[in-house]
Amino acid sequence: MVDTGPGRGEGLSVGGARYPSGPPEHWPSWVPPLAPAPGSVGAGGPAGGPPDQGGRRSAGIVAGVAVVALLLVVGAVALATSGGGEDDTASGTTSTSSASSPTTLVPTLPSVPGLDPNDPGLDPSDDARPLEEVLPGLVDFVEQTRGREFRTEPVVEPLPEAEFVERFRSVVAGDEQAVRDAGVAPRALGILDPDSDPVAVQDDLGEQGVAGFYDPETEELVVRGDQITPYVETIIVHELTHALDDQYVDLERPEALAERPDESGFGFLALTEGTARHVQVAYEDQLSPDDVLSAQIESLSSQLGGSSATPLPLPFSVATQLPYGNGEVLVDALVDQGGMGAVDAAYEAPPTTSEQVLDPAAYAAQEPAVAVSAPSADGPVVGEGAFGAVDLRILQVVADPSIVTDLLEQTGPVSPTVAVDPLDGFGGGRYVSWEQGDEACIRFTAVGDSGPGAAQVTEIVQGWAAAVGGADVVPTGGGAGGVTATRCA
């Protein structure tokens, strides 16, 4: 794996990349894990794929959110409102907000005795080491935990700050209209602010916190700088897992899955990110107490340092995290049942619905979605596709942001993640989106697979409609009980 033989010069060579013997002066302060950009691993689900013959994109709602979001915000979080209502982050209590005062995700400190990330005496860079020193051990850990060996050396390219940002911009540069189209449905549902520009959201978030990314097109793992702290090690482990899996599985498969009428794109994205999260958390679990403390400090400091950036609507943040959180739950269940061999088998037959991702038992039973007719649009279609169980869970967050306090799960000593519970009795759904002047519009149908299931679907949609306002909800005319909802915003 590692070439340090004669004639190679000073430093280390891994995967064709040269590492100098000395680190840069500092490592960027904000380095949370990321949801990779379009063209990178796990980006966008089916919404990141090519348009169909009619020029429209077939995508699930949450997958559409993922194509807009480049950054996965992971940290200790609490709710805060931008106006209206009181907030007490110190006690952990929260208040909900109205549509006129959108709730945003604001980091706060957990109960870590003696931990103050603002203490100048606590500097995670003191625990940093050059990449050449830590990389061989990270590669070995990923191989042993994943149960596979790299067929070829992973190409890891460290870049200084300015060069990294330039490289990142070149990777994410693409079809801006496709990103705006993918943002129509989230805007209409209240996941994104109706007046937000999805391209601007993508640009802002992408540069605020990307510490590294794996690009399956070039097979390169690109990281910021050479000096690696314990926290950054966990991020590299995540991306190395992608690089390893890509040598056995086509991680660009979501582009092909875009043409499918189900949620296969989201299922594959959750499997991919869940696998990387499983290995990442395993690495966190074996860190020394001192390294865990260092990583916690840096994680919290990075989140607090970024809280003044563009506010991130809570439903949007939750939606971008679910492929990671629920993907990890799915992969953990697979490993418990059959080890990494079960994960390998899942790549051959990924989940086809978000219900299978949220409920590993539904995946094991290969529970299909109930067939639902696509609703009609009142204008030129810009997006269409499956409306799944995960989308209903996000509508619950839109209607009542305070429920996120029940969703946050600490699945590792360093990096918490968000996962939602399965939705019993969900059957299936379809949506279509269009634009009407300056407004984003959506119409979706969601049904249950049983009487109680239909009642739960109806209750969730009606609760969302009452919270956001301006939505028309009517019972479905088909045999399966459910509703059809329309909203422009």
Across the range 413-434, mean pLDDT stands at 90
pLDDT bracket for residue 448 (50, 70, 90): very high
pLDDT exceeds cutoff 80 at 71: no
Query: Does the predicted TM-score (pTM) go above 0.85?
Result: no
Could you tell me the two tokens for 456?
Answer: 């739960």
Query: Mean pLDDT lowest for which of 53-67, 68-82, 251-265?
Result: 68-82
| pLDDT of 72 over the 60 cut | no
Token pair recorded at residue 8: 């190679």
β-strands 426-436, 17-19 pairing: unpaired
Question: What sign does the dihedral 280-245-150-209 (CA atoms) show?
Answer: negative
Distance CA 482, CA 480 (A): 6
Question: Which position has the token pair 């649009």?
Answer: 377
Write down the pLDDT at residue 479.
Answer: 63
pLDDT tier at 63, thresholds 50, 70, 90: low
Q: Where are the domains of the chain?
A: 2-365
pLDDT of residue 146: 98
As a whole number, mean pLDDT of residues 62-80 equals 37
* pLDDT at residue 402 in the model: 87
In this predicted structure, which of 3-7, 139-143, 320-324 has the lowest mean pLDDT?
Answer: 3-7
Q: How far, in Å, CA of 470 to CA of 456, rounded?
A: 21
- Model confidence at 304, pLDDT cuts 50, 70, 90, reads low
Give the pLDDT of residue 145: 98
CA 18 to chain CA mean position, Å: 31
Q: How far apart are the C-alpha atoms of 208 and 309, rounded to whole Å?
A: 8
Average pLDDT over all residues of the chain: 74
280, 242 Cβ separation under 8 angstroms: no
* Cα angle, residue 272 at apex, residues 347 and 71 outer, rounded to 5°: 165
Query: Number of C-alpha atoms within 13 angstroms, CB side, residue 161?
Result: 11
Question: Quick check: 115 pLDDT over 60?
Answer: no
| Highest mean predicted confidence (pLDDT) among 124-133, 266-275, 326-335 | 326-335
- The predicted model gives 325-333 an average pLDDT of 96
Please state, in angstroms and rounded to a whole number, the distance separating the CA atoms of residues 147 and 205.
34
In this predicted structure, the answer to whether residue 8 has a pLDDT above a threshold of 70 is no
The mean-pLDDT minimum among 91-100, 124-133, 318-327, 451-460 falls in 91-100
Could you report the per-residue pLDDT of 214-263, keeping only the tens digit for each?
Answer: 877 788 888 776 678 898 899 899 989 999 999 998 887 766 776 788 89
Lowest average pLDDT, out of 64-68, 147-151, 193-197, 386-390, goes to 64-68
* Whether residue 86 has pLDDT greater than 80: no
pLDDT tens digits, one per residue of 367-389: 999 999 999 999 999 999 999 99
| pLDDT computed for residue 285 by the predictor | 94
Counting every residue, how long is the chain? 489
Residue type at position 351: P
Give dist(CA 22, CA 75) in Å, integer.
30
Residue 212 has pLDDT above 50, yes or no: yes
Helix (H), strand (E) at residue 181: helix 176-189
**Spatial CB neighbours of 221, under 8 Å, sequence gap ≥ 6:** 154, 155, 156, 157, 212, 213, 214, 215, 236, 239, 240, 242, 243
Share of the chain above pLDDT 70, in %: 68
